[in-house]
Amino acid sequence: MNPSPAISPMRSVFTLPVLVAALGYFVDIYDLILFSIVRVPSLMSMGLSGAELVDKGVFLLNMQMTGMLLGGILWGILGDKKGRMKIMFGSIFLYSVANIANGMVTTVEWYAVARFIAGVGLAGELGAGITLVSEMLHQKVRGYGTMIVATVGVSGAIAANFVAGLSSWQNAFYIGGVLGFLLLALRICVHESGMFREMESSGISRGNFFSLFNDRGRFSKYLKSILIGVPIWFVVGILITFSPEFGNYLGISGTVKAGNAVMYCYLGLIFGDLASSLLSQLLKSRRKVVYIFIALTVAGVAVYFLTAGAGPVAFYAACAFLGFGSGYWAVFVTIAAEQFGTNLRATVATTVPNFVRGMVVPITLLFQLARQQFSIGASAVLVGALCVVVALMALWRLEETFHKELDYYEQCP
């Protein structure tokens, strides 16, 4: 059950479960972003060059995101059926093995297999962690808990850039795998959510993924929860991942490195997640904050393209601004977790962010299709505008959940 507000609820934020969930997301982001950083050197080591670096890079990114999409469904269902902690163990173990294997690949085909398996493993981390934290903290402070998870987690991208800069791309993957195994040892000390333990003994239907689709109201909430996060992964999956190509298009006067673009974007994301979470607590609203940060994302895209002809410093500053504007990830995942009852919460909280990450596949396909008719810049603006419009339409009809009690069940068949 939630801790009583009479027992200094703010103290309950700084607990081992919150720390473990935050470190789990740190490792998740480390690997997720590491590929964007080492894409060019790793593919060049396999003999690729020129347009192949983009084409094969999109292919590998899509394999990773497809793995996360399927893994999100798998881990989400198991999270409601078997428990939040078991999923956190299983997902990080699979990810760690796949990451070590990733450092050994020598062909694009095996690279794709390793990214797919790693994607499946990575898919369970954030949803299970957010679900556990949301269920263990009082409603007045659970926003602070998810803020800590997100801000510590996204700093994994900065760590990935430093590690990749100090070692070979193979060693960077090995280090990620080792970090995962070290995290497993820490998780032994964390107990299961009280809400899950109560539900486990109730005999109620749990983790019924298809019940999200056979009821109009549930499906509508589920779909809208996904769509409000799409602009975030347009920014990361297109503007940041392919920053070297955009740097050339914009005539940046120096070399743009993907690793630096990722690092500055995620530095902005850290402060964005911190600011959006604090603002959510101040305004006592999740929806208002998402509106504000989607507007900041649009402003960030404009600033990004206005760096044409500038130097790398200005371009990286635009990447940081983009990251800050996109920094509503913690609030977005919290909204998804708060929309549904305990017996579907892990399923939703795990699948929603991974469906958003999986949206990189259609986003990049649309981007590639648009590039056949327009410039790389115009293509990005068209796809980005579509993502923003869809997110705003979904947010307009979504329920406010800031004050919502979470100790209830969905009536599933």
Lowest mean pLDDT across 110-124, 179-193, 279-293, 303-317: 179-193
Overall average pLDDT of the 52-57 stretch: 82
Dihedral over Cα of 396, 398, 399, 402: its sign: negative
Q: Which residue has the higher pLDDT, 384 or 152?
A: 384
| pLDDT for 48 beyond 80 | yes
Residue 313: band (very low, low, confident or very high) from pLDDT cuts 50, 70, 90: very high
The predicted pLDDT at position 71 comes to 87
Residue 305: band (very low, low, confident or very high) from pLDDT cuts 50, 70, 90: very high
Lowest mean pLDDT across 136-140, 162-166, 174-178, 270-274: 136-140
- Give pLDDT tens digits for 251-281: 998 888 887 898 899 889 889 988 998 899 8
The predicted pLDDT at position 200 comes to 58
The rounded Cα 123 to chain-centroid distance in angstroms is 9
Dihedral over Cα of 383, 384, 389, 392: its sign: positive
Q: Are 26 and 78 in contact (CB under 8 A)?
A: no
The predicted pLDDT at position 2 comes to 45
Residue 174: band (very low, low, confident or very high) from pLDDT cuts 50, 70, 90: very high
The predicted pLDDT at position 145 comes to 81
CA angle 18, 23, 27 (to 5 degrees): 150
**DSSP string spanning 12-69?**
GGSSHHHHHHHHHHHHHHHHHHHHHHHHHHHHHTTT--THHHHHHHHHHHHHHHHHHH
The predicted pLDDT at position 101 comes to 93
Token digits for 243? Answer: 């920053």
Overall average pLDDT of the 277-294 stretch: 92
| pLDDT for 18 beyond 90 | no
Residue 380: band (very low, low, confident or very high) from pLDDT cuts 50, 70, 90: very high
Overall average pLDDT of the 178-192 stretch: 77
| pLDDT for 59 beyond 90 | no
What's the half-sphere exposure (Cβ side, CA atoms, 13 Å) at 404?
Answer: 20
**DSSP string spanning 164-196?**
HHHS-HHHHHHHHHHHHHHHHHHHTTPPPPHHH
CA–CA gap between residue 126 and residue 225 (Å, rounded): 15
Token digits for 102? Answer: 């990733």
| pLDDT for 352 beyond 80 | yes
| pLDDT for 125 beyond 90 | no
Helix then strand then coil, in percent of the chain rounded to 5, is 75, 0, 25
CA–CA gap between residue 183 and residue 163 (Å, rounded): 18
Q: Which residue has the higher pLDDT, 190 or 44?
A: 44
Residue 380: phi and psi, rounded to 5, are: -65, -40
Q: Are 71 and 126 in contact (CB under 8 A)?
A: no
Q: Are 290 and 331 in contact (CB under 8 A)?
A: yes
**DSSP string spanning 325-358?**
HT--HHHHHHHHHHTS-HHHHHHHHHHHHHHHHH
| pLDDT for 291 beyond 60 | yes
Overall average pLDDT of the 73-79 stretch: 82
Residue 190: band (very low, low, confident or very high) from pLDDT cuts 50, 70, 90: low
Mean pLDDT of the chain: 84
Q: Which residues have a Cβ under 8 Å from the Cβ of 50 and sit 6 or more positions away?
A: none
Q: Would you tell me how many other CB atoms lie within 10 Å of the CB of residue 186? A: 13
The predicted pLDDT at position 12 comes to 64
| pLDDT for 358 beyond 90 | no
pTM more than 0.85: no
Terminal alpha carbon distance of the chain: 25
**DSSP string spanning 203-259?**
T-----GGGGTSSHHHHHHHHHHHHTTHHHHHIIIIIITTHHHHHHHHT-SSPPPHH
The predicted pLDDT at position 388 comes to 96
Overall average pLDDT of the 45-72 stretch: 84
The predicted pLDDT at position 141 comes to 76
The predicted pLDDT at position 196 comes to 57
| Most trustworthy range by pLDDT among 86-90, 100-104, 241-245 | 100-104
Residue 195: band (very low, low, confident or very high) from pLDDT cuts 50, 70, 90: low
| pLDDT for 367 beyond 80 | yes
Domains delineated in the chain = 9-190+208-396 (1.20.1250.20)
Dihedral over Cα of 283, 286, 291, 295: its sign: positive
